[in-house]
Amino acid sequence: MKGLLVKDAMVVFAQRKKFIILFIGISLMLSFKMDATFIVSYLCLIGMILGLNAYNYDENNNGMPFIMTLPATRKAYAVEKHLFSMMTVAIFWLLGLGMQFFANMIQKVDMDFVEQFPTYLMFLVLFLAFTSIVTFVEIRFGTERSRVVILLAGGLCFVIAVYGQQFLLKLGIDLSGIAGLIASVPSTVLTAAEILLIVAAICVSAFLSMKTLEKRDY
Amino acid sequence: MIRLNNITKEYPGFRLDVSLEIRPGTICGLIGKNGAGKSTTIKTILGLIHPTSGDVQVLGKDPLKFSAKDKEKIGACMSDSGFCPHLYIKDIIVILKSMYSDFDEAKFVDECNRQNLPLNKPIEGFSTGMSAKLRVLCALCHNSKLLILDEPTAGLDVMARNDVLDMLRNYMLEDEERTMLISSHISTDLEGLCDEIVMIEDGHIVLREDTDVLLGQYGLLKISEEDYEKIDKSYVIRAQKRPYGFDCLTNEKQFYLENYPAITVENTNLDSIIMLMLGNEKEVR
C-alpha cells in the first residue's frame, strides 16, 4: 500500500508543470476577489482531478499488467486508489483554506473562519464522497468509458431533480410532507445522518472497486 | 517452483490448454509464434488472469491469492508494460525502495550507469532498448527468487539484446537457487541461456526438452521420398514435405547415423526445430 501511494504521489508530482498553471489561475481569481467558497471548492475539484489522474496513468500505455505484478494485492490496490484520490482532495482543500486565509489577510477582509468552517467542511466531505464514487466508476468502466458514464449519471440526476417532483405529483405522490419531516429533524441529527450516508457511499464504492478488480483479467 | 496442472483459458477463437512444471534453479524458455499462448501462460503464472479451469501453483501458492510478501519474491518483466512514462529513474528508485524490503539501490544505480540509463530523464524519452533494459533491471533489483520475463528482448537490436541477456545470466549466476521463466520468439536468445525449452503452439505445449538434448541428440534428416518410406520412423517426431523429399526431426540422430549411413543427418539448432515443429507447411507425421 505504501509503495503504491508513493508511486501515485510521484506520478502526480511529475505533472508539476500543471501546478504552475493552476496557481496562476488561483492568483487571478484571488485578485478579482472571487467568492471565498469558490476558491476552496475549485481547489477540491483540482485535487480530485489530479488524484483520479493517477489511475489514468496506470491504465494508459498498458501499465496495469505490470502494476499488478508489484507487491500489492488487488484489494490493496483498490483501497489505495480510493485513499489516494481522497487524500489529494483533502490536501488541496487544506491548501484552499490556507490560500483563502492568506488572501483575506492581504486584502484585509474581515472574515470569521470559525463561522465559515462548517461550510468548508461540508465541501470537503461532499468532495470526498464524490471522489470515491468517481474512483469506482473509473475502475469499473475504465478512463474513457467512465467519462461517458459520469456524464450520463449527471444528466440523469439533473432530470430527476428538475422533473422528478412533477412526475411524482402526477402519480399522486406529494414529497412536500417528507421535506417538512426532514426540516423538523434537529440539525445535529441531520448532519450525523448526512455524514453516515457519505461514509457509507465511500465504503460501498471502495468495496465495489475491490470486487471489480478481483474479477478482472489483465 | 511453478506447476500448471491442466490449465485452460478460453478466449473467443483461442484456447490455452497447458500442463507444465518448472523445477527450482532452472532457466526455462518458452518459445512460440506470436499468438501461440506464451503471454497467456505467463499471465496465468503471475496471477494476472483467471484460468477457466485447472490448478496453478507458484512458490507453493495459487498466484491469485498471493500476498504482497509473496509478490516480493517474484521479479516480473512484461514486454509492453511498465511504469508511467512521465516518471524518471530517480522517481522509480524511490518507488521501488518503498515497495520492496530487499531493494538493492546501489546495485540498481550501478547497473543504470553501466547500461547508460540516465537517472534524470523521463522514461518516455528512452529508446526501445533503454526501456527494455530498465524493465529488466526493475525485475532484478530486489533479490527475487523467481524471474518471469515476457519477451524482454522483443524489438531490440543485437547489441541491446546481448546486454539484456548478459544481465539475466549474471543475475542467475549470483544464486543457483534462482529460477527463471523467459518467453521469446527469438530462438538464439533462449538457446544460449536456457536449461530447458518449452515450445508452445495454438495454446498447447508441443515440445519440452532440455536444451542440451535438443542441440545434442536431436537431428534433422534430409531424405528422399523413397528413403522416407524405408527408414524406421520410431524416432521421427515431425516430418515435413520438401521439394526433394522430406525433412524429418528426430530425437535420436545417433540411431540414424549408425543404421542409415547413406542419409543426410544434420545437427539442429532451435531455429530448425522451430521451423519443423511450428512451420506452416503441411505436416505429414
- Alpha-carbon distance A211 to nearest alpha carbon in chain B (angstroms): 14
- Residue B51, pLDDT score: 95
Q: What chain B residue is nearest to A53 in terms of C-alpha separation?
A: B84
Question: In terms of domains, do B123 and B241 share one?
Answer: no
Question: In terms of domains, do B145 and B163 share one?
Answer: yes
Residues 46-65 of A with CB under 8 A from B: 57-58, 60-65
B46 and A76 within 8 Å at the Cβ level: the answer is no
Question: In terms of domains, do B270 and B130 share one?
Answer: no
Distances (CA, A) of B198 to A121, B21, B277: 61, 10, 12
Whose CA is closest to B1, among B82, B56, B69, B65?
A: B56
CA distance A187 to A193: 10
B123 inside domain: yes
Q: How many domains does chain A have?
A: 1
B10 inside domain: yes
Query: Strand B204-210 and strand B219-223: pairing?
Result: unpaired
B284 inside domain: no
B81 and A61 within 8 Å at the Cβ level: the answer is yes
Contacts of A7 in chain B (CB under 8 A): 83, 95, 99
- Alpha-carbon distance B91 to nearest alpha carbon in chain A (angstroms): 7
Stretches in chain B below the pLDDT threshold 70 = 280-285
CA distance B181 to B41: 11
Q: Rounded to the nearest 5°, which phi and psi values hold at B4?
A: -110, 120
B227 inside domain: yes
B53 inside domain: yes
Domain that holds residue A207: 2-215
Question: In terms of domains, do B136 and B257 share one?
Answer: no
Question: In terms of domains, do B134 and B230 share one?
Answer: no
ipTM: 0.86
B228 inside domain: yes
Question: In terms of domains, do B55 and B24 share one?
Answer: yes
- Alpha-carbon distance B148 to nearest alpha carbon in chain A (angstroms): 10
For chain A, count helices (H), then strands (E). Answer: 8, 0
B285 inside domain: no
Whose CA is closest to B137, among B174, B201, B199, B82?
A: B82
Tell which of B193, B212, B231 closes a domain: B212
CA distance B177 to A178: 70
For chain A, give the percent of residues with pLDDT over 70.
93
Question: In terms of domains, do B105 and B239 share one?
Answer: no
- Residue B61, pLDDT score: 94
- Alpha-carbon distance B270 to nearest alpha carbon in chain A (angstroms): 29
Burial class (CB in 10 A: 0-12, 13-18, 19+), B251: middle
- Residue A33, pLDDT score: 61
Domain that holds residue B267: 217-278
Out of B43, B68, B86, name the one closest to residue A71 (CB): B68
- Residue B47, pLDDT score: 95
Question: In terms of domains, do B51 and B27 share one?
Answer: yes
Q: Where are the beta strands (DSSP E) in A16-166?
A: none
Contacts of A57 in chain B (CB under 8 A): 84, 86
Residue A76, chain B, CB below 8 Å: the answer is: yes
Task: Kindly report the average pLDDT of chain A as a whole number.
Answer: 85
Out of A69, A73, A217, name the one closest to residue B76 (CB): A69
- Residue B282, pLDDT score: 46
Question: In terms of domains, do B179 and B224 share one?
Answer: no
Question: In terms of domains, do B128 and B222 share one?
Answer: no
- Alpha-carbon distance B3 to nearest alpha carbon in chain A (angstroms): 18
Tell which of B162, B192, B212 closes a domain: B212
Out of A2, A65, A72, name the one closest to residue B48 (CB): A65
Question: In terms of domains, do B170 and B243 share one?
Answer: no
B72 and A58 within 8 Å at the Cβ level: the answer is no
Which CATH number is B201's domain given? Answer: 3.40.50.300
Q: How many domains does chain B have?
A: 2
CA distance B62 to A74: 14
The 10s digit of each residue's pLDDT in A144-193 is 888 888 889 888 888 888 888 778 878 877 777 777 777 788 878 888 88
Stretches in chain A below the pLDDT threshold 50 = none
Question: In terms of domains, do B169 and B223 share one?
Answer: no
Contacts of A72 in chain B (CB under 8 A): 68, 71, 99
Q: What chain A residue is nearest to B122 in terms of C-alpha separation?
A: A14
Residue A154, chain B, CB below 8 Å: the answer is: no
A6 and B98 within 8 Å at the Cβ level: the answer is yes
- Residue A45, pLDDT score: 87
B68 and A73 within 8 Å at the Cβ level: the answer is yes
CA distance A12 to B43: 28
Q: Rounded to the nearest 5°, which phi and psi values hold at B155?
A: 80, 10
Q: What chain B residue is nearest to A72 in terms of C-alpha separation?
A: B68
Residue A11, chain B, CB below 8 Å: the answer is: yes
A65 and B69 within 8 Å at the Cβ level: the answer is no
- Alpha-carbon distance B98 to nearest alpha carbon in chain A (angstroms): 5
The 10s digit of each residue's pLDDT in B131-179 is 999 999 999 999 999 999 999 998 888 888 898 999 999 999 999 899 9
To the question of pTM greater than 0.90 for the whole model, the response is no
B221 inside domain: yes
B84 and A11 within 8 Å at the Cβ level: the answer is yes
